Amino acid sequence: MRAQSFCTGRQTMTRYQQIASTLRAQINQGEYPVGARLPGIRQLAMLSGASITTVQSACNLLQDEGLIEARLRAGLYVCPPRQTSLTPVHQAPQPRAPILLTPTSITAEVMQQSLNPQHIPLGAAIPEADFLGMDLLNHIRRRRTHQGNEDAKYAVPPGSAELRQAIARNYATRGAPIAAESIIITNGCHEALVLALRCVTQPGDTVAIESPSYYGFLQAMQGLGLNILEIPNHPDTGLGLEALDFALARWTIKAVIVTPNFSNPMGSQMPSDRKSALVARLRAFDTVLIEDDIYSELFHHGTRPDTCLQYDEAGDTVIHCSSVSKTLAPGLRIGWVISPRFVPLLIEQKILLNIATASLPQAWVAQLLISAKWQQHLSLVRRRHALAMAKMQQAVMTFFPEGTRISQPRGGFVLWVELAASLDGTALMRHAIEHHISITPGTLFAINGAFRHCIRLNAAVHWSPQVEAAIAFLGHAVRDPIFHRSADKR
């Protein structure tokens, strides 16, 4: 029996598990690349100070995981990673009729447990400190010159001119020239989206959304009394345009919400030609596109992806929403919404909702965006996110059962995991919470209980033996029949 303890969120490893963990880390970090021969058992025993029997047990464990293989009279070699790429999960050829979402308490439960400091935070999509810019923010705060009473006043909508100009300059460097007058500062990206919905819809209207989609969007539409129409989302290319065409021809759709770059939870990225085609389709139907662009700065490699906003040359179709919550600090609650067409309505709705966004955080973010340190910071966190995602993917492939499929995001920090169709992700979540691990069940990202067999993991965590042990614990748990529904209950 392997000794396991997870009552405090920490794993007590036996000696052979410790040796296996060290070798696993060396393989994951490339010290032993695919096809490389490991040192012999006797040499590993000498290096680790352990017995040959203990080292052999460690190697047997890695062989069971498919990480290494024994070749006859040749030794141990590193195996290629298992093929676990995610194929489309939602294969419905046509969208179902729009429905009004009923309230649920599970979202609040997930958020509360994810923010518990005693838990390993694999649930909420909130980066840990290593992936944020608190040191940079504190530096800007100390350097902020005294502004008299200005920082104590309301920054009434559209918000700080200094910040809006800084945002406009930032977009210009991305090939998306935007007038500062088209930008309204908000309390985060979520409020930007709510303002957009309030501007273009009335209770009872229908809004289309990717499926699976961020549960905060579903909650916002529920709160506004909107009917939700789910459009299948491809894990690689995003919103299904063919399914959207079918929906546009059949129902009156007032708005479409999309996260074209590194969507939450799948991490999909819509190609440029499909972004352009999406904007053109919606303009033809006079349907507004609400673009959530909160993750596009967190591309892992290459260059920053373009946005749907860049294809809205007339400025009459796209309402673009973003923030610094994923790149700097979520607690600042600084976001923005961009729409030349709807500026007056957005300002009106902002005043009705909460009058203004706090002045001091706007001043800090404005100074930061024009600082050379900002781009340096983004380059650093992109590298960290890419490495963290690779580690999380490898850990899931190592510890979860054969047949598990995972997303392959090219940016962002959330990993979508598809398990056996019989799995109950909500039951798994509650079991994990008992052992001080937070995860998010797939049912939160859709209506009518879809994606029950899926979970989402937050990869933006400081990697440690405790995190690895948490993934191992989950991988063991999903094999337990208690978390699987019998065929007559599916």
**What DSSP element (H or E) covers 345?**
helix 343-354
The reply to whether 234 and 355 lie within a common domain is yes
**CB of 280 closer than 8 Å to CB of 286:** no
How far are the Cα atoms of 151, 152, 159, 319, 424 from residue 144, in angstroms, in the given order? 11, 14, 18, 32, 51
- Burial readout 437-452 (b: 16 or more C-beta within 10 A, e: otherwise): bbbbbbbbbbbeebbb
The reply to whether 179 and 70 lie within a common domain is no
- CB-based contacts of 477: which residues, under 8 Å, 6+ apart? 428, 431, 432, 483
The reply to whether 202 and 290 lie within a common domain is yes
Portion of the chain with pLDDT greater than 90, in percent: 70
How far are the Cα atoms of 14, 18, 20, 45 from residue 48, in angstroms, in the given order? 14, 10, 11, 5
The reply to whether 42 and 169 lie within a common domain is no
| The predicted structure's pLDDT at residue 4 | 29
The reply to whether 153 and 68 lie within a common domain is no
- CB-based contacts of 285: which residues, under 8 Å, 6+ apart? 248, 253
**CB of 398 closer than 8 Å to CB of 27:** no
**What's the pLDDT tens digit per position in 321-340?**
999 999 999 999 999 999 99
How far is 144 from 135, CA to CA, in rounded Å? 14
Q: Does the residue 136 lie in any domain?
A: no
Residue 484 has pLDDT above 70, yes or no: yes
| The predicted structure's pLDDT at residue 105 | 65
pLDDT, mean of residues 187-216: 97
pLDDT, mean of residues 181-202: 98
Q: Does the residue 483 lie in any domain?
A: no
CATH value at residue 43: 1.10.10.10
Q: Does the residue 307 lie in any domain?
A: yes
- pLDDT interval class at 399 (50, 70, 90): very high
How far are the Cα atoms of 215, 219, 450 from residue 101, in angstroms, in the given order? 11, 8, 13
CATH value at residue 163: 3.40.640.10
Q: Domain residues for 65?
A: 15-78
Q: Does the residue 432 lie in any domain?
A: no
Unique residue bearing structure tokens 């060290």: 22
The reply to whether 280 and 185 lie within a common domain is yes
Q: Does the residue 427 lie in any domain?
A: no
81 cis-preceded (ω within 30 degrees of 0)? no
The reply to whether 190 and 269 lie within a common domain is yes
The reply to whether 168 and 62 lie within a common domain is no
| The predicted structure's pLDDT at residue 449 | 81
| The predicted structure's pLDDT at residue 102 | 64
Q: Does the residue 262 lie in any domain?
A: yes
* Average of per-residue pLDDT values in the chain: 89
How far are the Cα atoms of 10, 14, 425, 437 from residue 431, in angstroms, in the given order? 15, 23, 10, 9
Length of the chain: 490
- pLDDT interval class at 146 (50, 70, 90): low
The reply to whether 47 and 168 lie within a common domain is no
End-of-domain residue from the set 372, 399, 425 = 372
Burial tier of 192 (Cβ tally within 10 Å: 0-12, 13-18, 19+):
buried
| The predicted structure's pLDDT at residue 272 | 96
How many domains does the chain divide into?
A: 2
Task: Give the angle subtended at the CA of 298 by the CAs of 294 and 299, to the nearest 5°.
Answer: 120
Q: Does the residue 105 lie in any domain?
A: no
DSSP 298: G
End-of-domain residue from the set 346, 372, 398 = 372
End-of-domain residue from the set 372, 389, 407 = 372
Residue 230 has pLDDT above 80, yes or no: yes
**CB of 447 closer than 8 Å to CB of 107:** no
Specify the pTM.
Answer: 0.82
Q: Does the residue 62 lie in any domain?
A: yes
pLDDT, mean of residues 405-434: 95
The reply to whether 244 and 165 lie within a common domain is yes
The reply to whether 356 and 250 lie within a common domain is yes
DSSP 306: P
| The predicted structure's pLDDT at residue 88 | 47
The reply to whether 71 and 192 lie within a common domain is no
Residue 7 has pLDDT above 60, yes or no: no
Helices then strands, counting H and E runs in the chain, come out as: 15, 17
